[in-house]
Chain A
């Protein structure tokens, strides 16, 4: 095992020597451009399994993506990205459409995108699949929960976007979107929801015998999703402030009968990123006010609460060290589940995560990262991965190399 880890750690170094970076340097002068990325990782945990059978360590942790862009005119662009990923039992490296859009941008203040578009929730949701864009391997899980990745990744619809700038006041990027999410079944969230429904069928009172004893399948249909994002950039300081909002509704059906509904009344993310010399501070706070019903009874009602602070220090340009503190509560007003135990899938409805991460950019194209987390709590579907013995205190770590061209 250790030998494999060493091989993974040094692989990018060897390849960087064999393949000079200049081969892969962006040359964006072509009418049609093709770019891509590859990330390979190793995930290990102790105490609990995390996202995979990770207690024994797993190499089922990778992403491969390729995109094509064509600038048809100064204001008109089309592009698409295909991604294949594997994380534990999910993904299995089947190619999927990540984003595909038509972009019309005739003026800096207003543009339009139509197609499958990334959802701008928080500063980093749009870069979920691009490991090489962020300082740590995992985005802070309280806001960028990996188990709910497919709920918030992208929508099929349209958005208006633009930038309003002022010489002295800074500039404001905005996005307003409306669309629908196409859910896939090969996801943690689908399987855990199915398990949740089956649990409910076993426990719900059904004196008139109207409900099925068991369902093996259901459809999740997003009726609508809309929202927006604002990002303010200070004119002289490296300071960005952001506000994101979304609202939507899903319905669940089995054999043509509606069995449940999830309504997101409002999901808000407040974001901050500030860089001073070699230090970068990132912090976000989020509440997701939602209500979920299953078979006519309320399974969940109220806002979650999530926030994190991450401090990154870069002693040299290619190296950065990041320290993270991350907190999540499934219900803001019942943080430790003392008042409500309605959702058996989250027996410990909170999570507190201390993380330490290292990133080294070997070249402009190769990145290697490692991180270690100390965690308390089992929220965010840890019960799904550890149905028999969920530990309150646990750890996980990961190593990952990424290549882009």
Chain B
């Protein structure tokens, strides 16, 4: 019993030492250029990305994208959702594995998010601010 615990402890300690940390700049919420909105509150963004607000003001369903680029994802979780990245990942998994719903679609990086939102009127996502271009519109957080 004690050996089991010691070995487990040492293994996890070693893994911790190999852990990575994240460095990133600011993130921007982005929507389709035809979406009339220009800003939302942080609270509304939080509800949207937790699947608790599913429609835009005009009644259209919101299509939510999660950017899986590690640095951008990490900054988004901390600044917008006020969670650490692991907590938001577990929240999405909980929705999926307990039958509560289907979590947001995942895109691998800024370019994939921009490309999808540029052709999807009801979509919302987040990218590194440096990647913003004319194909999408920034949705300011007030």
Contacts and interface: CB of A to CB of B under 8 A. Distances in A.
A32 to B, nearest CB: 11
A173 to B, nearest CB: 8
Given A45-B1, A314-B84, A317-B86, A118 B7 contact: no
B55 to A, nearest CB: 7
B53 to A, nearest CB: 6
A295 interface: no
Contact of A319 (B1, B16, B54, B97): B16
Contacts of A2: 3, 7
Given A22-B108, A133-B90, A368 B84 contact: no
Interface residue tally on B, bucketed by range = 35 or more
Interface residues of A, number: 71
Contact of A10 (B11, B84, B96): B11
A397 B4 CA distance: 8
A358 B52 contact: no
Contact of B4 (A5, A37, A118, A362): A5
Contacts of B53: 108, 163, 165
A130 B103 contact: no
Contact of A358 (B9, B68, B89, B104): B9
Interface in B1-22: 1, 3-5, 7-9, 11-12, 15-16, 19, 21-22
Contact of B21 (A35, A117, A133, A316): A316
A130 B93 contact: yes
Contact of B12 (A67, A132, A360): A360
A6 B7 contact: yes
A236 B103 CA distance: 22
Contact of A165 (B3, B47, B90): B47
Contact of A77 (B7, B15, B101): B101
Contacts of A5: 3-4, 7-8
Given A108-B52, A364-B89, A42 B4 contact: yes
Given A26-B92, A101-B99, A316 B4 contact: no
A28 B84 contact: no
Interface in A157-216: 163, 165, 167, 171, 173
B57 to A, nearest CB: 13
Interface of A: 2, 5-6, 9-10, 13, 22, 25-29, 33, 35, 37, 42, 44-46, 57, 65, 67, 69, 71, 74, 77, 79, 81, 99, 101, 103, 105, 108, 113, 117-118, 126-127, 129-130, 132-133, 163, 165, 167, 171, 173, 235-236, 238, 275, 278, 314-320, 358, 360-362, 364, 368, 370, 372, 395, 397, 399, 404
Interface of B: 1, 3-5, 7-9, 11-12, 15-16, 19, 21-22, 41, 43-44, 47, 52-55, 61, 68, 74, 82-87, 89-90, 92-94, 96-106, 108
9 contacts: A105-B54, A126-B98, A127-B97, A130-B97, A130-B98, A163-B52, A167-B44, A360-B16, A370-B4
